[in-house]
Amino acid sequence: MAAEDLPSEFDVVILGTGLVESVVAAACSRVGQRVLHLDRRSYYAANWASFTFNGLLSWIQQQQDDTQPEETQDWCDLLEEGEELIQLSSQSSIRNLQVFTYTSKEDEVEEASADSVNTTEEEQHGPASQDDDSNQENLENHENQEENKENQVNHENQEENKENQVNQENQEENQENHENQEVNHESQEATITEGAEPEAEQPQSPAIPSQSEPSRKKISFAQLEKEGRRFNIDLVSKLMYSRGSLVELLIKSNVSRYAEFKKVSRILTYRNGEVEQVPCTRADVFASRQLSVVEKRKLMRFLTSCIEEKDDQSAYNGRPYLEFLRDQKLGENLQHFLLYSIAMVTEDTPTEVGLASTRNFLRCLGRYGNTPFLFPLYGLGEIPQCFCRMCAVFGGIYCLRHSLRCLLLDTATNRCKAVIDSRGQRISCSHVLLEENYVHERKNVATPPRFLSRAVLITDSSLHGSDSEQEVSMVTIPPITEGAPAVKMVELSSSTMTCMSGTYLVHLNCSSVSSAYQDLSPLITTMFSTPESHDQGRPSVLWCLYFNMEDGSAMEVEGHDLPSNVYVCSGPDGELGHEHAITQAELIFHKILPEEDFCPPAPNPEDILYDGGSAPSSGPEEEPSLQLEV
């Protein structure tokens, strides 16, 4: 916190605290490299971060006025002979941010039938009574009450905006875009308090006991803000395959001791307008009520048989997996489950790919639970932090709100020999890692970046009621219309410590076809209750956010006209698992240190210093479920 100078020499300097960067930081520090790990942001994990509700509102604000005119200073006095400067500047990889608040601003005074006049009054009082918090910018537009009713105008604006949405040049227009939205979100509110609210109470999930809520009261925006700390809202939407490379790495390196996990408790799918549970274990299959006895037998036989590779399968190589499934004489039900929910592929995916992902699914089943997936408590943003901690424990130095201005290139060797940080300090180093946001201008213009479409919803009930209020669900959604993307959805309950009790946090993710709003809002309107929905008997959306994020999967580690010892770490990709990031981290590590072991187990501190036989797993009552240390 003080203006302390950093040491002037490191082995590895890393800019950005995303997952790839953090894993490499931990791996290098673990084998004795001196690591300096920086991030220009005030938070860890870059585009992999999770935020409290209020934190997310400030993040949105930051994205909206992210112009940051970085003054280009002349650092030539820091240059030595034979050196050249490479200026660094970052560019946001977030586009088309849109926010909608579908719940009332303040607590309803009386039962929900508040008329619109009433609401208006409340809203006028809103900002004044709320300014204890710095994140109120979003609310400030609320003075524009006159515009409230002009829904039409807003919709037109949206149409216009759609046209330029995936276009990354249009920063300014996007800016306008946001302004329109805020007005828009204003009017949405008015709409919902008028009509939608009374019926919106969880009629489709009678199993949920309404004990905790003072019944029939919708959670207000003010409450979301008040309980904002209970939220940990991820920018990425992923799950951890229980035998995937991230889980294996966490275990192998002992980084796992810094985090706790929840099992994803069920897999759902959206089919014929209904949400159904996908049976994936033997017990599920037998308990399933959707499947006939014949189907159950067929499904079991199929799953058992496809664990091994067989000749009759290879005959289908290159042909669609769906064709293979059809020829197995599996009915429509089973084909849907197998294709979209178990293999999680599309109709034209080749058979060998479909079979491989089916096997991966089966391999991950039963390690920890009845689905192949885990989710970290407090959100995915914990994972990079855990690796950063490992790096720090082995001596890595951490500095947030601190960036690099330029690289110093040794022209003779084409290697970066030093960097200049945002305070103008020269720091020499042998290797540099940059997050991908710093190489935007250097990207190949011929291949424009791909984007992911994301939506984050806070809802008031689960998509599929069950005995437990605390289900963690993976929901697979096939394209709802021809040409629409297949969407992966994760519904988190408050037991994951990512949302306040009485709410659910829903993440949607797909490869973008157009803007996030265009890609995902039709689906959200049909699966949930929003002011645009016709059917109100579904979970109500209280608040939602749309944005596009650059897809990191195409990012090359090397090249980009950068010196040979500078590596680029890609941001989040669109896959459900973390294979891409972990593979890339290991690749970069071995480029830096070809001889070294990647993340060998960290010694257990208990073993070094304290041996009272009290490994952290004593006492069964303490950790009722599954705590076990190595």
Decide if 405 contacts 87 (C-beta within 8 A).
yes
Regarding 211 and contact with another protein (CB under 8 A), the answer is: no
Place of tokens 């894993």: 23
**616's tokens:** 């952290």
Q: What is the DSSP string of 534-593?
A: S--SSPBEEEEEEEEEE-GGG--SS-TT--TTEEEE----SSSSSHHHHHHHHHHHHHH-
What's phi and psi for 359, nearest 5 deg? -65, -40
- Count of beta carbons in the 10 Å neighbourhood of residue 117: 7
Q: State which of positions 608-627 bind another protein (CB under 8 A).
A: 608-610, 612, 614, 616, 618-619, 621-627
Of the pair 282, 426, the CB lying nearest another protein is at 282
Binding mask 357-396 for another protein (x = CB under 8 A): -----x--xxxx-x---x--xx---x--xx-xx--xxxx-
Residue closer to another protein, measured from CB, 97 or 250: 250
Minimum CB separation from another protein for residue 630, in Å? Answer: 5
* Chain position carrying tokens 């039709």: 522
What is each CA distance from 393 to 1, 20, 67, 603, in whole angstroms?
Answer: 19, 18, 36, 11
Nearer to another protein (CB atom), residue 363 or residue 450? 363
**Is residue 567 a contact point for another protein (CB under 8 A)?**
no
Interface region with another protein, contact rule CB under 8 A, candidates 76-84, 147-155, 199-207, 602-610: 602-610
Q: Among residues 155 and 401, whose Cβ is nearest to another protein?
A: 401
| Interface positions, 577-596, toward another protein (CB under 8 A) | none
Q: Report residue 199 as tokens.
A: 């019926």
If you search the block for the tokens 């005074």, which residue do you land on? 109
CB of 328 or CB of 346, closer to another protein: 328
Residue 495 engages another protein in binding (rule: CB under 8 A): yes
Least spacing, CB of residue 252 vs another protein, in Å = 8
Candidates 310-318, 399-407, 515-523, 534-542; binding stretch for another protein (CB under 8 A): 399-407
Q: Which of 229, 310, 423, 590 is in the footprint of another protein by CB under 8 A?
A: 229
In 19-64, alpha helices (H): 19-30, 53-64
Nearer to another protein, 52 or 204 (CB): 52
- The residue type found at 147 is E
Q: What is the three-class DSSP state of 139? A: helix
Q: What is the dihedral of CA 168, 172, 174, 177, to 10 degrees?
A: -160
| Of residues 257, 235, 186, 102, the one with CA closest to residue 630 | 257
Interface map 288-327 toward another protein (x if CB under 8 A): -----------xx--xx-----------------------
Q: How far is the CB of 491 from another protein (least distance, A)?
A: 16
Residue among 510, 408, 406, 500 nearest 454 (CA):
510
Site for another protein in 497-536 (CB under 8 A): 497
Identify the helix (H) or strand (E) that includes residue 370: none
Q: How far apart are CA 429 and CA 34, in angstroms?
A: 9
**Cβ closer to another protein: 399 or 480?**
399
> Residue 396 CB: number of other CB atoms within 10 A?
24
The answer to the question of residue 132 lying near another protein (CB under 8 A) is no
Min dist. Cβ of residue 510 to another protein (A): 27
Of residues 427-446, which lie at the interface with another protein (CB under 8 A)? none
402 belongs to the binding site for another protein (CB under 8 A): yes
Smallest gap, in angstroms, from Cβ of residue 500 to another protein?
13
Q: Which residues of 77-97 are buried (b: 16+ CB within 10 A; e: fewer)?
A: ebbeeebebeebebbbbbbbb
CB of 439 to another protein, least distance (A): 24
- Tell me the H-state helices in 288-381: 293-306, 311-314, 321-327, 332-336, 351-364
**Residue number, 385 or 437, with CB nearest to another protein:** 385
- Is 606 a binder of another protein (CB under 8 A)? yes
Out of 208, 397, 480, 484, the only residue in the binding site for another protein (CB under 8 A) is: 397
We find the least distance from the C-beta atom of residue 328 to another protein, in angstroms, to be: 15
Binding-residue total with another protein (CB under 8 A): 77
- Using CB under 8 A, which residues numbered 9 to 48 contact another protein? 43-44
User: How do strand 404-410 and strand 83-87 relate by DSSP bridges?
Assistant: antiparallel
Among left, alpha and beta (phi > 0; psi -120 to 50; other), residue 208 is: beta
* Of 349-357, 507-515, 556-564, 597-605: span binding another protein (CB under 8 A): 597-605
**Residue from 470, 514, 525, 553 in contact with another protein (CB under 8 A):** 470
Residues 232-291 that bind another protein (CB under 8 A): 247, 250-251, 256-263, 280-283, 285
Minimal distance, residue 432 CB to another protein, in Å = 19
Mask: binding to another protein, 43-72, rule CB under 8 A, as x and -? xx----------------------------
DSSP state of 60: H
